[in-house]
Amino acid sequence: GEQWQAMTMNKGILHFWGVWASIVAFDPQNSQHLYYSGGFALYETTDGGEKWSKISDHTFGTVDKFVVHPLDGNILYKINAEPQVQLYKSVDGGRTWDMSGPPSDRAEPSTNLWIDPNQGNVLILSWYGSGADTYVSADQGDTWKKIIPHCESIAFSPDNEGVALCSKSSSGESLLFKTSDFGKTWNRMRFSQSPNRIYTLLISPHDTETIFLGGSAGLFVSRDGGTSWEAHNNGLGTARLELFTH
């Protein structure tokens, strides 16, 4: 991080000021292959950002969320922010798109989408706002099932695609749940650090018993699969956290 350079300016990408936020997504199988969703178009680079080529226009509107399949960089998912919030899937690297996911009549771009990092078969989609719902697909988005609880944050196990954690807020309290059967059933986990809204979850790829939780009360770590938690907040204050591991 000592030096940074622009990856998009004057390299084949048209910039539109005042449009929806840009999104960059990496191909997990090829670090030189990236997608850039900015303005009203989707771009691609295969040389780490030296040159970009336009793949397609966002004919369905601007994009709110964008994810790449962990094993196949040609399988993409995007959630449109307007004119109607909806999930779309591409199997040809973004050249063409088909509607996927449960139908949505929502007008507000309040959504989130997670894909399991193992085989890429399991997707979890949450609509927020009034009538918040969460859906799970175990077949790459072909079919969907509404699940309980409604999930605000998700963490997939790095070595078992059927295992995931889910957090939700209820009456000022954050609740934590776990599934071991691809979202069919959820069991509540112990987490008593309240009031604390959970913003992000992460299961360590080195030890799946180690779970990191970032919330309004800071960072908490469990080293026994969620049975007990310790605060690790020295110097963090109350900043909202995003969690990454190496």
Q: Distance between alpha carbon 102 and the CA centroid of its chain, in Å?
A: 17
213 and 221 in contact (C-beta within 8 Å)? yes
Who has greater pLDDT, 133 or 27?
27
Burial (CB count <10 Å: 0-12, 13-18, 19+), residue 110: middle
Q: Give residue-wise pLDDT tens across range 151-170.
A: 888 999 988 888 999 988 77
- Please report the pLDDT score of residue 156 as a whole number: 92
What are the C-alpha distances in Å from 20 to residues 17, 47, 184, 211? 9, 26, 35, 33
| Of the candidate ranges 95-109, 113-127, 156-170, the one whose mean pLDDT is the lowest | 95-109
DSSP characters over 104-136: ----S--EEEEE-SSSS--EEEEE-STT-EEEE
Q: Give residue-wise pLDDT tens across range 15-34.
A: 554 445 568 889 999 999 99
- Please report the pLDDT score of residue 219 as a whole number: 85
Which pLDDT band, with edges at 50, 70 and 90, does 46 fall under? very high
User: What single-letter DSSP state applies at residue 226?
Assistant: T
Q: Is the dihedral of CA 145, 146, 148, 152 positive or negative?
A: positive
| Token digits of residue 201 | 């979850």
3-state secondary structure of 198: strand
| Of the candidate ranges 164-168, 203-207, 229-233, the one whose mean pLDDT is the lowest | 229-233
